[in-house]
Amino acid sequence: MMTGSDRRGMAAPLRRQGDRPPADFTELLRVQRDACRQIGSDLYARLIGHAITRVDRPGPIRDLLAPHAQDSFGSALALRFLGAVHRIVLEGRAPELAAHYPSVGGTPGPAAEAAFEAVVAAHLPELAERIHDGVQTNEVGRSAALVGAFLEVAAGAGGGGGMPLRVFEVGASAGLNLRWDHYRYEAGGRGVGDPSSPVRFVEPWVGRRPRLDRTCTVAERRGCDLSPIDATTPEGRLTLRAFVWPDLVDRLRRLDAAIEVARRVPATVDRADVSTWLPERLAAPAPGTATVVVHSIVVQYLPDEARRTLRETVTAAGEAATPEAPVAWLRMEPGRDGAEVRLAGWPGGADRLLAVSAYHGPPVRWLAS
Ligand SMILES: C[S@@+](CC[C@H](N)C(=O)[O-])C[C@H]1O[C@@H](n2cnc3c(N)ncnc32)[C@H](O)[C@@H]1O
């Protein structure tokens, strides 16, 4: 099964191309190479660029990738491939390539491509298996894009000011963003969240920022995912780390810190499809709490039917909402200039664009007054 990926700059091509196979195999790789370069992973841009030069020539890279020539755009073949190789590096089984991977203390050098190809040759059967695994990420930086909206709900957007929140996350992956209130956010000399948290966002907003003098309690946090990851296990942690691009070490550090938080703050992520899970969660109102349905970079992976169920389920719960049991729908999904953070709140049902963010989180352009 193909699960999520974590791409900035690739969202637009993916949405445009749908889930069709690319007309030209290398086109798929080129899109991913360019997106990696745009986001700041020169190493991955180089390695994918190298793979593009090898797909037409006999050798291990062609042997590995040729059976996937018909894979869809949305399946992010290059990222599955590179994630499978990164896992081997993280496990300490590819010391020559590790010398080029900042995630394990290396520095990309001119021999990176050759070392990469040697690892592909040495681990071909394993990689041929692993390359089927969907990209599975959980980007903690998105909490910085979402926190302002959670605080709006806590302050009474749609009613329920001061009530504790009941947070239901669709496509929660490892549930790291379900612990958003256990991270620290600081700007302009103010801060919100846990001051002792190992996950710290300093000046994540550009321009305006949300009000940070609000407080909020989370009464319940729960998510669903088709392939949930338990980040507190060695295997879960390795999977999440393997899909972070190795030269984006700040993201790796943030992920490690969030896993530390996850060890002490429980959050259930059910292995379930949104289509069955969400209607069950929202079946009964919960007076005295403000219910928030949240998702980030998920909708593009849902089939039409599941998208419809999501929208209709939240809308129906919203229409049944009362001031004692308000409902909010918080989304961080691809827009024209980045990920748009939107919040609808019931009673009332007003839908607002609160912020536009980079796909991995900061910088976040806060738009609400
Ligand atoms: C790009 S990831 C985003 C994960 C997380 N929301 C984040 O921002 O880090 C998309 C997630 O959606 C999940 N997903 C895809 N289809 C789903 C479905 N029908 N029901 C529940 N989860 C789904 C995937 O397994 C994956 O974990």
Of 68-72, 257-261, 284-288, the range with the lowest mean pLDDT is 68-72
In short, whether 270's Cβ falls inside 6 Å of ligand 1 is no
* C-alpha–C-alpha distance, residues 229 and 177, integer Å: 13
Q: Quickly count: other Cβ atoms within 10 Å of residue 287's Cβ.
A: 12
Q: CB of 287 within 8 A of CB of 325?
A: yes
Instruction: Choose one of 140, 298, 311, 359 to mutate for the ligand 1 pocket test, by most ligand atoms within 8 angstroms of C-beta.
Output: 298
- pLDDT level of residue 17 (50, 70, 90 thresholds): very low
In short, whether 296's Cβ falls inside 6 Å of ligand 1 is yes
Q: Is the pLDDT of residue 275 over 70?
A: yes
Task: Give the 3-state secondary structure of residue 331.
Answer: strand
Dihedral angle computed from the Cα positions of residues 349, 350, 351 and 352, in that order, rounded to the nearest 10 degrees: -150
CA of 300: how far to CAs of 44, 166, 212, in Å?
23, 25, 31
Q: Is the pLDDT of residue 21 over 80?
A: no
In short, whether 239's Cβ falls inside 6 Å of ligand 1 is no
Residues 347-352 have a mean pLDDT of 92
pTM of the model: 0.90
> Model confidence over 44-86: pLDDT tens digits?
999 999 999 999 999 999 999 999 998 888 788 999 999 999 9
Q: Quickly count: other Cβ atoms within 10 Å of residue 300's Cβ.
A: 16
Whether the CA torsion 44, 50, 53, 56 is positive or negative: it is: negative
How high is the pLDDT of residue 7? 32
* C-alpha–C-alpha distance, residues 63 and 36, integer Å: 23
Q: Is the pLDDT of residue 20 over 70?
A: no
Q: Is the pLDDT of residue 119 over 80?
A: yes
How high is the pLDDT of residue 84? 98
Ligand 1 atom nearest the C-alpha of 306 is 19
> Model confidence over 359-368: pLDDT tens digits?
999 999 999 8
Compare 279 and 2 and report the one with higher pLDDT.
279
Residue nearest to atom 14 of ligand 1 (CA): 171
In short, whether 224's Cβ falls inside 6 Å of ligand 1 is yes
> Model confidence over 184-217: pLDDT tens digits?
999 999 999 999 999 999 999 998 999 998 889 9
Q: What are phi and psi of 321, to 5 degrees?
A: -70, 150
In short, whether 31's Cβ falls inside 6 Å of ligand 1 is no
How high is the pLDDT of residue 159? 66
Ligand 1 atom nearest the C-alpha of 173 is 27
How high is the pLDDT of residue 193? 96
Residues 259-272 have a mean pLDDT of 98
Q: What's the whole-number average pLDDT of the chain? A: 91
